[in-house]
Amino acid sequence: MAHQRLGGVLARAIASGAIDASDEQARDAYALAMEEAATDLLLERALLRWSAVLESTAIPYRVLKGAALAHLVYPEPAVRSFGDVDLLVRSAELDAAVVAFTRAGLQRRSPELHPGFDRRFGKGVTFVDSDGWELDLHRTLAPGPFGLRVDDSGLFAAAPEWLTLGGRTLPCLAPTDMFLHACLHAVLGDAEPRWGALRDVVQLAHDRRVEPHEVITRARSWRVDAVVARAVSTAWTLLDVDADLELVRWAQSEQPTRRDEHLLAAYGSGRSYARLAAASLPEIPGWADRIRFAVWHANPRGRTRRPAQHIRRVIRAAAGKPVPR
Amino acid sequence: MLWRVVVDQALLLRADGGGVLALNRSGTALWQALDVPGTAGVLAARLCETYGSEPEVLAEDISLTLLDLADRGLVSFDDR
């Protein structure tokens, strides 16, 4: 439960009598919930600080996942814990945001593969502050090929939901986009879906602000309908949900194309950065950028003297073959 | 101010610094009653049914708790 950050919902379920627990189990659940809530508060304080960095440089942003869902989607924030802060900026403003956060004292977890890589092809940039709190700065909603399909400008065109926190109001995604993001995260975020991520899908699917036709239309226009359908079906199956919703009927009738099936497999067991990179290549619009993507992987920052060997590694990974170190 | 209620216990954190403060159950009830601000007497009147105490006795406890929270910068008093 600690790994899945479900202490808050467990404590609430025990307190309401929804599940039976011994006194010791109840004490443990309560202690875990308190620990998670304390972490959430400290992360929310970091969110206030980091969103102010973007506001001071006039970079538009949206708060994603954690705090946004806890306050805007769940009946009480304590039942939706989180482990980092997620902010979305437009691709065109990613570099400026990186500069702003670096000036604010945050450090990148890993260097950029090549100047310009993150804003063109990456999911975003992960930072850590001096206390160890993590900021995930996104420019799209998922890693790999499906992330490349998301229209990030559309995410800023929709009217935001507003999160009131610490006396400020912070913009978050529109409900439909929140739902699509929850689906992408549940299926593409980890090789095995996390319970918390699937629970977000279920919670949002029941939210009246999420309109099924709009979800389906947007998912198709982004060409992530296979991911959304997979997320809903998986959530309903693994969490044993029996609510009969229009979105569920749609999801269960969807058949992914062979191409999408192949891409989804790249995110599952045997997932690796190389495999996702290889699967991403055909999704990059334009040959110039495809060549850039391949060359930058083959020769990051001009360090390697053997780019051909690296290209072979990418091709092997694309074919699902083992890649020698 | 940032805060959470876990089942029946509130955690408070100032947005501008400091550590997390956990309130006990009665402190949490008071915190939730503060959702609609009021004098100690008004808050006592709201909470006296829950605690089965006389509003006057409760008002004294509430005043002390509010002063403690104010010292920590977690609530402020309005002079009106």
CA angle A107/A135/A81 to nearest 5° reads: 145
Question: Does residue A126 carry a pLDDT above 60?
Answer: yes
| Cα end-to-end distance, chain B, whole Å | 22
pLDDT band at A166 (very low <50, low <70, confident <90, very high): very high
- Is the distance from CB of A14 to CB of A26 less than 8 angstroms? yes
Q: Given an 8 Å threshold on Cβ–Cβ distance, is A33 in contact with B13?
A: no
- Phi, psi (rounded to 5 degrees) for B36: -110, 105
Integer CA distances (angstroms), A88 to A6, A31, A153, A175, A187, in order: 25, 32, 11, 15, 19
Rounded Cα distance between B8 and B12, Å, is: 13
A67-83, pLDDT tens digit by residue? 999 999 999 999 999 99
**Do A135 and A85 touch, CB atoms closer than 8 A?**
yes
CA-based nearest residue to A7, from A40, A30, A41, A25: A30
CB A108 within 8 A of CB A147: no
A5-9, A97-101, A141-145, B64-68, range with the lowest pLDDT: B64-68
Sole residue written with tokens 């006389």: B54
Across chain A, mean pLDDT equals 92
Contacts of B22 in chain A (CB under 8 A): 34
Q: How far apart are CA A142 and CA A177, in angstroms?
A: 13
Q: Higher pLDDT residue, A154 or A105? A: A105
List pLDDT tens digits, range A288-298.
Answer: 999 999 888 87
Residue A309 structure tokens: 């060997």
Q: Which of chain B's residues have a Cβ under 8 Å away from the Cβ of A41?
A: 2-4, 11, 13, 20
Give the nearest partner residue to B13 out of A8, A45, A77, using CB atoms. A45
The confidence score (pLDDT) of residue A307 equals: 61
CB contact under 8 Å between B7 and A30, yes or no, is: yes
Residue to mutate among B1, B3, B5, B7, with most A CBs inside 10 A, is: B7
Give the start-to-end residue ranges of the domains of chain B.
24-80
Tokens of B42: 């008004």
Strand partners, A108: A127
Is there a contact between B79 and B71 (Cβ–Cβ < 8 Å)? no
Q: What is the CA radius of gyration of chain B?
A: 12
Residue A109 reports pLDDT greater than 70: yes
Taking each helix axis from N to C end, the angle separating A23-56 and A94-103, rounded to the nearest 10 degrees, works out to 110
Nearest to B4 among A48, A78, A166 (CB): A78
Max Cα distance, chain A (Å): 64
Nearest to B6 among A33, A42, A167 (CB): A33
Residue A153 to residue A141: CA distance in whole angstroms: 12
pLDDT above 70 (res A323): no
CB-based contact A40 B4, cutoff 8 Å: yes
35-94 in chain A: CB under 8 A from chain B: 37-38, 40-42, 44-45, 48, 76-78
pLDDT in tens, B46-57: 788 777 777 777
Confidence of residue B6 (pLDDT cuts 50, 70, 90): very high
